[in-house]
Amino acid sequence: MSSDVAPGTAIPGTIAESRCLVIGAASGIGLATAERLRASGAAVIGADLPSARWPGEDPGSLPLDVTDPESVRAAVASAVQAMGGLDAVVNCAGILGPVASALGTTVEEFERILTVNLTGAFIVSRAVLPAMAAAGYGRLLHLSSTAGKEGVINMPAYSASKAGILGLVKSLAKEFALTGVTVNALAPGNVMTPLFQEVPAEQQAAQAAKIPMGRFGTPAEAAALIEFIVSPAASYTTGVVFDLSGGRATY
């Protein structure tokens, strides 16, 4: 891996001293995370697709397409220049794709979902990890899903892409373990985001029945956990899949 992004020199002692890039920050968990980190005092830049609709004015937002290495490189470089370095990256970019049987899913649809969710995570990782390692500090978090742990009926491509993120994170965590950089994943279950609203009502009901807590999660709950994972306090945890499923998939 290589990067032309110069690392920052200051290693943060608290989340308030951290410089954070949140990808997929225009809505859902990404939006809640950016808001939470800002409220904690961190410097935060949000990024999302050029076509994304941001809630209100966000002059610090950047256009970023995770499937385009040059787009990712340019956005990361802009974030580093604006904040003077980059300590934490939260990658929330992802698509659900069609909710359909395996036989009803085309190869093109399957590949498109893997390209955004899995290849996109790899592209982001390549863009940020070298400079973090050179700086001797970094936090990288990718969003996976309980679908990646146990598979969800009629979501073969989404389940496969999120399972792939788990393997990617565990591999990268080992590769960068001696550099001061941690690489982790968050596996949300059913969180009330715009993405989850795409799931048919009958399937939402079936998934709700699997949750011991008896309710869906919220973006704010996800953001609270993410804040810890990407903080300096989470210094001895890497290659871990954090559960956010209300007790559904605590493994």
**Catalytic residue positions, numbered:** 158
HSE of 98 in the Cβ direction (CA atoms, 13 Å)? 13
Tokens of 91: 């990658």
| Cβ partners under 8 Å of residue 244, min gap 6 | 186, 187, 188, 189, 191, 217, 221, 222, 225
| Cβ partners under 8 Å of residue 246, min gap 6 | 189, 190, 211, 212, 213, 214, 215, 216, 217
Is the separation of the CB atoms in 72 and 122 below 8 Å? Answer: no
> Could you tell me the CA-to-CA distances from 250 to 92, 189, 241 in Å, in that order?
21, 10, 10
Determine how β-strand 19-23 pairs with β-strand 88-91: parallel
Is the separation of the CB atoms in 93 and 123 below 8 Å? Answer: no
Question: Roughly what angle, to the nearest 10 degrees, separates helices 120-135 and 156-175?
Answer: 20
| Cβ partners under 8 Å of residue 175, min gap 6 | none
Is the separation of the CB atoms in 92 and 25 below 8 Å? Answer: yes
